[in-house]
Amino acid sequence: MSQSPQNITVLGSTGSIGVSTLDVLARHPDKYRAYALTANTSVDLIIPQIQRHSPRFAVMRDERSAQQLEDQLFALGHKETAVLSGEKGLLRVASDEAVSAVMAAIVGAAGLSPTMAAVTAGKKVLLANKESLVMAGHLFMEAVETSGATLLPIDSEHNAIFQSMPARYQSGKSTGLASEGVRRILLTGSGGPFRELPLAQLPLVTPDQACAHPNWDMGRKISVDSATMMNKGLELIEACWLFNTTADRIDIVIHPQSIIHSMVEYTDGSVLAQLGNPDMRTPIAHALAFPDRIDSGVGSLDIIATARLDFEAPDYQRFPCLRLATEAAAVGGTAMAVLNAANEVAVDAFLAGSIRFTDIPLTIEHVLAAKTIVEPDTLALVQAQDASARVLANRFIETLIRA
């Protein structure tokens, strides 16, 4: 007997991960249906997605773009999709009873409350929005535990780590990494576009140079994070929460080819890795179908053409963001939400051409030093820390601009 397709909500459908997710969904109309699509304000990008997938709901960030979308859909004679707006709309489609799985692919802190809503509603949550875990990891993982939600990592490294874990761990029946004989996690990263750039040139790099990643095609914020290696720092924190471990059990390894997506070492000396072409459709398809396997559209890995796999230790001097993230992880509490907020503000300012690339870590360091760190026991407290860190970051950036 054939089952009806599972309803999937794609938060951030117009972004890089959102587009890859819709590509995978479209390959399996018998299994999945895009139930809700959401975007910031890009009406032009979401219209063809709505026409192609006929979701039950589309959510825009504000009422103005929702009204624009509604008008344009009306003019096109498209009647199947109801348009919602704002946080209320996002929370609705993240927790809707009809939804089986939620792809959390909004970028940045804006993804926190809809992702938490999906977790609280006990959904299968495909987590791309690493910032929500960095900001509120403790509360987030507690909510997963309480609601019985299934959390599957989309970030390629964390998906690779998950795939390299024993079946007992993957099925949620493990008591922890130690009982599985895991000695350490090897978190790989390409080192980004500036791994070998002469240090003196770093202050001069442009947003377009920072966004030209050698191996991955991603949104602009995560591309800049990859260039500063803040992305690897956020991923270190993400891995601590996801795998309930500490940073001293995770080694960051630079692997410029991005073919190995991360590794797990066991006490007997075995090291298991997941390899593949650098294409996010692989982790997306893995998490969507887990524990089954489905076609993702990603071609076979040509291991002969790949020929070489190189590895290096990370350079903390070149990449101060990596040090700042590691320190914030050690401090704990709201340090990670503060780190994340200052980084988002600084990256925005860099992308807008207001500050230099090397001002990004300066801003974060300044804000971290200025904030009192506490142990957050509510989401509201995390959000308040996020907001005040943004004020401090913006003030510091003003002084940089005037100098």
Site string for ligand NAD, 45-84 (x = CB under 6 A): ----------------x-----------------------
- Shortest reach from residue 218's CB to Mg ion, in Å: 9
List, in sequence order, every residue forming a beta bridge with 120; answer none if it has no partner.
Answer: none
Among 25, 34, 36, 39, which residue sits at the site for ligand NAD (rule: CB under 6 A)?
A: 39
CA distances from 208 to 45, 101, 224, 234, 335 (A): 21, 34, 9, 22, 30
Three-state SS for 59? strand
Among 14, 49, 164, 188, which residue sits at the site for ligand NAD (rule: CB under 6 A)?
A: 14
Residue whose CB is less far from ligand NAD, 17 or 367:
17
- Shortest reach from residue 45's CB to Mg ion, in Å: 23
Residue whose CB is less far from Mg ion, 65 or 156:
156
Residue 316 binds: one of ligand NAD, Mg ion, none (C-beta under 5 to 8 A by kind): none
DSSP state of 372: P
Q: How many C-beta atoms lie closer than 10 Å to residue 184's C-beta?
A: 17
Point out which residues bind Mg ion (CB under 5 A). Answer: 155-157
Residue whose CB is less far from ligand NAD, 119 or 218:
218
Q: Which stretch binds ligand NAD (CB under 6 A): 106-114, 246-254, 267-275, 296-304?
A: 106-114
What is the spatial distance between Cα 233 and Cα 237, in angstroms, rounded to a whole number? 7
Among 7, 8, 9, 18, which residue sits at the site for ligand NAD (rule: CB under 6 A)?
A: 18
CA distances from 286 to 23, 37, 344 (A): 14, 20, 29
Closest-CA residue to 265 (of 186, 375, 197, 371): 186
**Phi, psi (5° rounding) for residue 332?**
80, -160
**Which residues, in sequence order, are CB contacts of 269 under 8 Å at separation 6+?**
none
Three-state SS for 35? strand
Listed in order, strand segments (DSSP E) in 216-360 are 250-254, 260-266, 271-275
Q: What is the 3-state secondary structure (H, E, C) of 124-190?
A: EEEECCHHHHHHHHHHHHHHHHHHCCEEEECCHHHHHHHHCCCHHHHCCCCCCCHHHCEEEEEEEEC
- Is residue 93 a contact point for ligand NAD (CB under 6 A)? no
Among 106, 143, 149, 392, which residue sits at the site for ligand NAD (rule: CB under 6 A)?
A: 106
What is the spatial distance between Cα 209 and Cα 223, in angstroms, rounded to a whole number? 10
Residue whose CB is less far from ligand NAD, 12 or 361:
12
Q: Which stretch binds ligand NAD (CB under 6 A): 127-135, 317-325, 351-359, 389-397?
A: 127-135
Q: Record the tokens describing residue 229, joined without a space.
A: 């290696």
- Residue count, binding to ligand NAD (CB under 6 A): 26
Query: In the range 135-164, which residues lie near ligand NAD by CB under 6 A?
Result: 155
- Is residue 110 a contact point for ligand NAD (CB under 6 A)? yes
Among 218, 250, 355, 389, which residue sits at the site for ligand NAD (rule: CB under 6 A)?
A: 218
- Is residue 130 a contact point for ligand NAD (CB under 6 A)? yes
- Is residue 325 a contact point for ligand NAD (CB under 6 A)? no
- Is residue 279 a contact point for ligand NAD (CB under 6 A)? no
Q: How many C-beta atoms lie closer than 10 Å to residue 268's C-beta?
A: 7
Q: Which stretch binds ligand NAD (CB under 6 A): 15-23, 181-189, 242-250, 368-376?
A: 15-23
- Residues near ligand NAD (CB under 6 A) are 12-18, 39-40, 42, 61, 105-107, 110, 128-131, 155, 216, 218-219, 221-222, 280
